[in-house]
Amino acid sequence: MGQIRYQAPEETMGKAYDSRIVRRLVKFLQPYRSKVSLTLGMVIIVTCAELGLPWLFSRAIDEVDNDRRLWMINAIGAAFVLMIVIRFFGMWQQYRTAQWLGNRVVFDMRNRMFRHLQSLSIGYIDKRGVGTVMTRIQNDVSVIQEMFSDTVLGVLSNVLVLVGIIIIMLITDWQLALLTYLVIPVMLLVMRYWQRYAKAAYRVTRRTLSAVNANLAESIAGMRVVQSYTREPLNFRFFRTINRNNFDAAVDAARLSALLFPVVTLLAAIATAMLVFLGGNKVFDNQMTLGELVLFVALIDRFFAPIRDLSQQYSVLQSAMVAGERIFEVLDVEPEVQDKRDAYVLPQITGKVDYNHVTFGFGETQILHDINLHVEPGETVAFVGETGAGKSSMVNLLMRFVDVWSGSITIDGHDIRDVTQQSLRSQLGMVLQDTFLFGSTVRENISYARPEATLREIEAAAREVGAHEFIRRLPDGYDTAVQERGVSLSVGQRQLISFARALVSDPKILVLDEATSSIDTQTEKLIQDALKRLLVGRTSFVIAHRLSTIREADKVVVMDLGRIIEMGTHDELMEQRGAYHGLYTMQWRGGGEVAAD
């Protein structure tokens, strides 16, 4: 029996420096120039203190070995303590400010992405998938945070330390410094070799970890199905396989990491041995002081640590460049539906809706063909037809989730493309087939469209749709927490809450996609009664699945392949014995439901 195959995650390694991405990332730091300057200043101070400590130590050794002036020893000791204090407070301020900057960039970036995502079309989320979009907001932004909080600071500090060490060594004894640098080409070759294999190993580790996480998420979400079909043993064997793949990849990556540090330590030891041998001879020949030799040994020890750290930070920078590219890929997406520059606020409407020669499609595929439909205020229109007939496109265009290709949709004579989206949707309400409840309280879910609604208004809406009694019986009544997507409530209860939510918003035009879920007879009656109350006095567009809704509609619009093929009341269409009569005969005569669109 086959298993689901997971797609490999998107490439996570790229160039360590991409000027285009870096310029855009730096813009997030511009509002905080003072803190950036403070951090850079602290890096310089800490670097000077780091390099100053071995220099003071070498001066102390020379003083003891030669002049032996007690006051000078005391002065050097005091300077040594002062340098340590300066380094301590400098590092504290440096990391404190850098962490603040990293977290602030994440704060601003996530806010900007969330605001931007809310302006994008629903189709964008559908195409990319919620998981991919969440990765952008969470994982990719976290990589940027790591870069700004630690990596950039580490790279800058390490580069300054390296430059400082090179300068001090050349000033102290340029010949010995050049001999010491002979191990650098060997070090660079080792780092290049390690980086090439480490990159591939870490890429495999991330890919296999992604497969593990994907399988875990899917298995947990589908646990009911897993247990229903007794798939536990087979699923465990498959999980153990992909988990083993991740383990093997992680061990390979760890093996490479374990190899790097001993090699660096070995090269540092070789350089130190050369230095002690050659420098010791110079000390005996009075060409170099003992303190200068000790300074060289101390600097050599510090010299290789930044090189090793930079190799690790290089990988983080590569990941950050890719993460930045992904983030800006989202931010650069232009909303498909935008307000015109001269868009005006839609005045209070009565609910007259006109589809005038509307043509629409996705990509190059045309969905709706020359649609003409005129609805008077307060009328209920029921859209019926087979799956893919274009019913959902009709209501999506009215809500302006997408725009028409040609023709127009007007409300009370106002072309909906000429008014602001906020003023349009604030006077429209929508009840989805897949009732979505947020992970907050019942009260907050009902008042979602009108957060300022009072408890009395919320209760009145719940009573109107028949939801008050079951809400009252919940542990905390209207303050009962609703679990994610409302899973703690029954299908019927979720539908009634969504009706109450629409009623509280008091829309002039209501769009309803009837649910097709099977529910008990009593709940069905409650929902039917609630639906009748909800539709009263409103212009309503219903993607109808219940026969009772269709029979009571003022207009039944029969659609097929993006065209209106019949229109009239239930009785009128039955008399015509056309397409609607055929649908009724096949699907509704027994009181059943039509398939969802």
| E strand or H helix that includes residue 367 | strand 365-375
Is 317 or 428 the better-scoring residue by pLDDT? 428
* Amino acid 327: pLDDT: 84
Would you list the domain boundaries of the chain?
174-287
- 333, 120 contact by CB (below 8 A): yes
* Amino acid 356: pLDDT: 95
| E strand or H helix that includes residue 358 | strand 353-362
In sequence order, the 6+-apart residues with CB closer than 8 A to the CB of 471 are: 442, 462, 477, 478, 480, 497
| E strand or H helix that includes residue 374 | strand 365-375
pLDDT at residue 546 above 90?
Answer: no
- 387, 595 contact by CB (below 8 A): yes
* Amino acid 218: pLDDT: 75
* Amino acid 4: pLDDT: 46
- 460, 427 contact by CB (below 8 A): no
3-state secondary structure of 540: strand
> Could you count the other beta carbons within 10 Å of the beta carbon of residue 149?
19
pLDDT digits (tens, 9 = 90+) for 162-212: 888 888 888 888 888 887 777 778 777 877 777 777 767 777 776 787 778
Q: At what angle do helices 19-26 and 290-331 cross, to 10 degrees?
A: 90
Q: Which of 124-138, 264-278, 287-301, 446-460 has the least mean pLDDT?
A: 124-138
Q: What is the DSSP letter of 420?
A: -
The Cα–Cα gap between 442 and 47 comes to 57
pLDDT digits (tens, 9 = 90+) for 352-392: 999 999 999 887 889 999 999 999 999 999 999 888 888 88
Q: What is the DSSP letter of 587?
A: I
Dihedral sign of CA atoms 523, 525, 529, 531 in order: positive
Q: Where residue 8 falls among pLDDT bands split at 50, 70, 90?
A: very low
pLDDT digits (tens, 9 = 90+) for 482-522: 876 667 788 788 888 888 888 888 888 988 886 544 555 66
Q: Where residue 336 falls among pLDDT bands split at 50, 70, 90?
A: confident
pLDDT at residue 562 above 80?
Answer: yes
* Amino acid 522: pLDDT: 66
Of the candidates 47, 46, 26, the residue with the CA atom closest to the CA atom of residue 36: 26
Q: Where residue 597 falls among pLDDT bands split at 50, 70, 90?
A: very low
Distance of CA 61 to the CA centre of its chain: 57
The Cα–Cα gap between 463 and 458 comes to 9
Number of H helices, E strands in the chain: 22, 10
Length of the chain: 597
In the block, tokens 């299908």 appear at 491
* Averaged pLDDT score across all residues of the chain: 82
**Helical segments of 222-231, H only:** 223-228
Is 479 or 303 the better-scoring residue by pLDDT? 479
* Amino acid 128: pLDDT: 67
SS3 breakdown of the chain: % helix, strand, coil, rounded to 5?
Answer: 65, 10, 25
Residues 449-473, mean pLDDT to the nearest whole number = 87
The strand ranges marked E within 299-340 are none
The Cα–Cα gap between 392 and 402 comes to 11
* Amino acid 129: pLDDT: 63
3-state secondary structure of 241: helix
Q: Where residue 328 falls among pLDDT bands split at 50, 70, 90?
A: confident
- 180, 169 contact by CB (below 8 A): yes
- 336, 403 contact by CB (below 8 A): yes
* Amino acid 215: pLDDT: 79
Q: Which of 236-245, 281-290, 334-343 has the least mean pLDDT?
A: 281-290
Task: Show the tokens assigned to 31.
Answer: 């509002």
The CA R_g of the chain, rounded to the nearest whole Å, is 35
φ, ψ for residue 270, nearest 5 deg? -65, -45
Highest mean predicted confidence (pLDDT) among 175-189, 438-452, 563-577: 563-577
The Cα–Cα gap between 343 and 439 comes to 35
Side chain identity at residue 302, one-letter code: R
Q: Which of 116-120, 220-224, 452-456, 573-577 has the least mean pLDDT?
A: 220-224
3-state SS of 158-174 is HHHHHHHHHHHHHHHCH
The Cα–Cα gap between 409 and 398 comes to 7
Q: Where residue 3 falls among pLDDT bands split at 50, 70, 90?
A: very low
The most distant pair of C-alpha atoms in the chain lies apart, rounded to whole Å, by 120
pLDDT digits (tens, 9 = 90+) for 207-258: 787 778 777 877 886 777 777 777 788 888 999 998 999 899 888 877 877 7
The Cα–Cα gap between 488 and 587 comes to 32
Of the candidates 572, 511, 569, the residue with the CA atom closest to the CA atom of residue 538: 511
3-state secondary structure of 17: coil
| E strand or H helix that includes residue 31 | none
The Cα–Cα gap between 537 and 351 comes to 10
> Could you count the other beta carbons within 10 Å of the beta carbon of residue 204?
18
Strands, sheet with 428-431, edge to edge from the N-terminal-most edge strand: 428-431, 509-513, 539-543, 380-385, 555-560, 563-568
pLDDT at residue 420 above 90?
Answer: yes
* Amino acid 539: pLDDT: 92
3-state secondary structure of 372: strand
Of the candidates 46, 27, 321, 20, the residue with the CA atom closest to the CA atom of residue 160: 46
| E strand or H helix that includes residue 443 | helix 442-446
The Cα–Cα gap between 393 and 414 comes to 20
> Vertex 406, ends 404 and 408: CA angle to 5°?
70
In sequence order, the 6+-apart residues with CB closer than 8 A to the CB of 525 are: none
Q: What is the DSSP letter of 455?
A: H
In sequence order, the 6+-apart residues with CB closer than 8 A to the CB of 183 are: 267, 270, 271, 274
φ, ψ for residue 476, nearest 5 deg? -120, 25
Is 22 or 139 the better-scoring residue by pLDDT? 22
Side chain identity at residue 440, one-letter code: S
- Give the predicted TM-score (pTM) of the model: 0.71
Distance of CA 204 to the CA centre of its chain: 23
pLDDT at residue 6 above 50?
Answer: no
pLDDT at residue 405 above 90?
Answer: yes
* Amino acid 519: pLDDT: 56
